[in-house]
Amino acid sequence: MTVDSIFKDKQTIKNDINEERNDELQIESIPLATLYTPQSDSYLLSEVGFIVIEDGWDEQSLLALKQQVDCTLFALQTTDKQIDRFEVIDGIITCKADEVEQVISVFESVLSDRDKVGIDVNDIKRSCGAEKPANFIQARVTGIPDSEQIKSAVNHLLNQIPEGLSIEYMMLDFESVHKLPLDEFFSITTAVKSRIYDDAEVFYGNRMIDKPDHYWMGAIYVAG
């Protein structure tokens, strides 16, 4: 058997494996975002991965994760504990320990429509702390008239951003019992524009939830 034939046999096997993987991926769609923990022996594929720094990740476990999933990977920082990027982490988002699921929900809501609005992958990374750490904030409004919910929620949200900072990148998600009409959406974008740089990037998501008298907003942002 010649070297060329051996190479061709190996290439044929590799092609067959890739075809099988492609067939499997068509049957089982890859989730948009997955929260990984270091205790797992193997990791499922995902378009984007999240880890919580406080879960005890080290260089070796992060490298093993990256090799298995090979996806964009963001770290969530829930305390003062920090982590070296090891050339593996694509961005860092600070949030509270009980806000991890909300952060991922905002990301999924905004990015689920990325093909429609043409979000650039580099803008996604910058929005989630690629160049400087991103922050997560949220606001929930109940028990007030519908006409005042949006204004109250967006004011509560933006007031959490320290004075003197302007937004460079933001992912902003709304959760309510109905899809936002254009006039309500416009009132939100107007309020946000008052706090951003002229060339800032803001990406919006909107989810409906079966909870009457409920309005929630969450944002991942990077400020200057």
SS3 of the chain: the string is CCHHHHHHHHHHHHHHHHHHHHHHHHHCCCCCEEEECCCCCCCCCCCEEEEEHHHCCCHHHHHHHHHHHCCEEEEEECCCCCCCCCCCCCEEEECCHHHHHHHHHHHHHHHCCHHHHCCCHHHHHHHCCCCCCEEEEEEEECCCCHHHHHHHHHHHHHCCCCCCCCEEEEEEEEEECCCCCHHHHHHHHHHHHCCEEEEEEEEEEEEECCCCCCEEEEEEEEEC
End-to-end CA separation in angstroms for the chain: 63
pLDDT value of position 171: 92
Q: How many whole angstroms separate alpha carbon 223 and alpha carbon 195?
A: 10
User: Of 140-149, 153-162, 169-178, which range is least confident?
Assistant: 140-149
pLDDT value of position 15: 56
**Residues contacting 179, CB < 8 A, separation 6+:** 206, 208
Residue of 49, 91, 42, 33 lying closest to 64 (CA atoms): 42
pLDDT in tens, 94-131: 999 999 999 999 999 888 765 555 567 788 888 888 88
Q: Are 53 and 94 in contact (CB under 8 A)?
A: no
pLDDT in tens, 49-107: 999 999 989 888 898 899 899 889 999 999 998 887 768 899 999 999 999 999 999 99
Residue 98 sits at the vertex; the CA angle it makes with 131 and 36, to the nearest 5 degrees, is 60
Give the residue with greater pLDDT, 193 vs 26: 193
Split at pLDDT 50, 70, 90, the class of 160 is very high
pLDDT in tens, 174-220: 888 777 788 888 888 888 888 887 788 889 888 887 777 778 999 99
pLDDT value of position 36: 95
Distances (CA, A) of 185 to 20, 41, 137, 174, 203: 44, 44, 19, 10, 12
> What percent of the chain is predicted at pLDDT more than 90?
27
Split at pLDDT 50, 70, 90, the class of 8 is very low
pLDDT value of position 22: 56
Q: Are 107 and 48 in contact (CB under 8 A)?
A: yes
Q: How many whole angstroms separate alpha carbon 96 and alpha carbon 46?
A: 24
